[in-house]
Amino acid sequence: MRGLDVLMAIGMAPEPLRFADIQRVVQLPKGTLHRLLAALQRQRLLRFDDRTRQYHVGSRVFDLARRTLDQSGIIRAAKPELTRIARLLGRPACLYVRDGRDVFVLDFEDPDAANSPMVRIWPRQAVDSCAAGLAMLAALGPDQRANLIRDHSEASQIEVGIDLSRALGYALHTERDGGTTSVAAAVVNPDGYPVAAISCPFDGLDGKAELLHEAGRALIEGARRASGNAGMSQGVSHILPTAPGKIDPRVVPLPTGRDFMGENPVWSPRTSRLYWLDILAPALRFYDPATRLSHRVDLPELVGGLALRPDGRLVLLGRHGIFEFTPETEDLKLLVSPEADRPDNRFNTAAVDALGNLWAGTMAINHEPGQGSFYRITPDLRIRRTFERTGLPKNAAWSLDRRTLYLSDGGDGVLRRYPVALASGEIGQGSPFVNGAAEMGVPNGICVDSQGHIWVAMLGGWAIHRYTPKGELVERIVLPVPMPTNLCFGGRDLRTLFVTSTYLRLPPGYSTLAPLSGTVLEIEVDVPGMPPNLFAAK
């Protein structure tokens, strides 16, 4: 305890202390204090400056802090939302967590950080004196709230604020001097318990009511997505601690930046571009191999599926339906909404068959298995629900003779094959094709090459696999990322495999172990793929 007292005295002091200053604070004998300081220095928890004769916090403390942040599932769940909200609202977005009766900022994104000389400091606050605390209080029961309210003389006023928060879905709080107003929404775990809150500050000049409520709606959506991410933080049951062998020399990381969750890559022969999604940004991404430049288009809602149209437009499968998207103007046009009656679901997959039909899967926003469906949508927008109560369906692929449908399900980690009649959409009884396992990960995205072999992104397995139509593993390409999500063929001769990946679902410590997680990879292979099919919706 004395050693901790010494460390805290130095760490909490407004400026570095000398030996006499420390002794005056902790009231220890000189000999005892010398021994404690030496021990703390030996463990690199303290550093002594010979020039100034002052003690400073050591490098080990910063390393421990970095590891703590790296291990935070809440940060990994909320980080994409902090980035998206800061960019959308043009102001800092903070992630607050509760410590007893206080809340403090665990992480934040500041859109002006690169252009501002100001360093922001986020002080600890009482849980009942800021929007972040009120948002978390509103998600608790009355008895739990009563134990946390510090100023009981204002309990009735605080309860009014909590009731308003529960009615709005987000909390508003203005400081007593009429200064900063903050808006916040709670992030909850699968049991509905508030584990954090996402908050944005507004100063007195720009805290107009319409701005606050517009921000509140954005924060609700962001907190809801972060809550779904938190619910899936342990969703990958199979992940290898290291790559299962030497990284294949054919693997080349592209200069596309880091996606939160890259998915659904599609090669466009018309534009010679690779398109894909960063689902949790959310954003449409594209890459031009000729210029080696990548771009992004921020999207207004979470989008989980992508397909091509013959005229160069795209089809985006979003939270509220299937849209036609024009890249040049960024216009969105709703085509059809198969699940308008299921507001808690979103689309998670898209694939087009050889006849131009769109096959699309849905899932629960909070990742609850068994809430989704699998649809076949014809070019004239007739909808057929082929599967009901699916787990977490990924993109489909078909055999060269068009008689077999391959579909992986993240709910149970199994890639299955089904007899199918494309013309009618009839699907027969499925059978396992690839089963996920602890030693190789679970099958996720898939594609088929010109020999009819099936390529599979093995989520958690640091690899992509190639299987014969009989299910025999004939090739494994080891990757520098543990969580490849999806893949497609592209390039001029369709001999380039493009592989998307994620870093959001990584366990603690993996962001250092696999720094390329979230980037797009390209791999030159011997057997070309098949040209992408196009959805010719009328």
Cα radius of gyration (the chain): 26
Residue 155: predicted pLDDT: 67
- Rounded Cα–Cα distance for residues 426 and 480 (Å): 40
CATH of domain 2-60: 1.10.10.10
> pTM of whole model > 0.85?
no
**Predicted confidence (pLDDT) per residue in 128-156, tens digit:** 889 999 999 988 887 888 888 766 666 66
pLDDT value of position 233: 39
Report the candidate in 428, 346, 350, 342 with the shortest Cα–Cα distance to residue 386: 428
| Pairwise pLDDT comparison (115 vs 534), residue with the higher score | 534
Query: In this predicted structure, what is the pLDDT of residue 142?
Result: 79
In whole angstroms, what is the distance from residue 2 CA to residue 9 CA? 10
Whole-angstrom CA distances from 21 to 13, 43, 109, 394 are 10, 22, 37, 63
Please tell us whether the domain made up of 71-231 is placed in CATH 3.90.1170.30: no
Q: What is the mean pLDDT of residues 92-109?
A: 91
- Rounded Cα gap, residues 353 and 386, in angstroms: 14
pLDDT confidence of residue 17: 93
Asked if domains 71-231 and 251-524 share a fold, the reply is no
In total, the chain counts a number of residues equal to 538
- Which residue carries 């809440």 as its tokens? 74
- Of 201-215, 216-230, 313-327, 466-480, the one with minimum mean pLDDT is 201-215
Secondary structure percentages of the chain, helix, strand, coil, to 5: 20, 35, 40
Contacts of 286 (CB under 8 A, 6+ apart): 273, 274, 275, 276, 294, 295, 327
Whole-number pLDDT of residue 526: 96
Determine the Cα–Cα distance for residues 284 and 327; give it in Å rounded to an integer.
9
Count of alpha carbons within 13 angstroms of residue 226, beta-carbon side: 32
**Average pLDDT, whole number, for the chain?**
87
Given a contact cutoff of 8 angstroms between Cβ atoms, the answer to whether 6 and 33 are in contact is yes
**What is the structure's pLDDT at 232?**
42
Tokens describing residue 529: 């793929």
CATH no., domain 251-524:
2.120.10.30
**Ranges of H-type helices in 190-263:** 209-231
Q: Is the pLDDT of residue 509 over 80?
A: no
**How far is residue 222's CA from residue 135's CA, in Å, rounded to a whole number?**
14
Q: What is the DSSP letter of 281?
A: T
pLDDT digits (tens, 9 = 90+) for 21-65: 999 999 999 999 999 999 999 999 999 999 999 999 998 887 777
- The reported pLDDT for the residue numbered 234 is 38
Distance (Å, rounded) from C-alpha 519 to C-alpha 17? 45
pLDDT score of 235 more than 60: no
Q: Where are the domains of the chain?
A: 2-60, 71-231, 251-524
Residue 206 pLDDT greater than 60, yes or no: no
Between the two ends of the chain, the Cα-to-Cα distance in Å is 74
Residue 342 has pLDDT above 90, yes or no: no
Evaluate whether 91 touches 201 at the Cβ level (below 8 Å).
yes
Contact 223, 493 (CB under 8 A): no
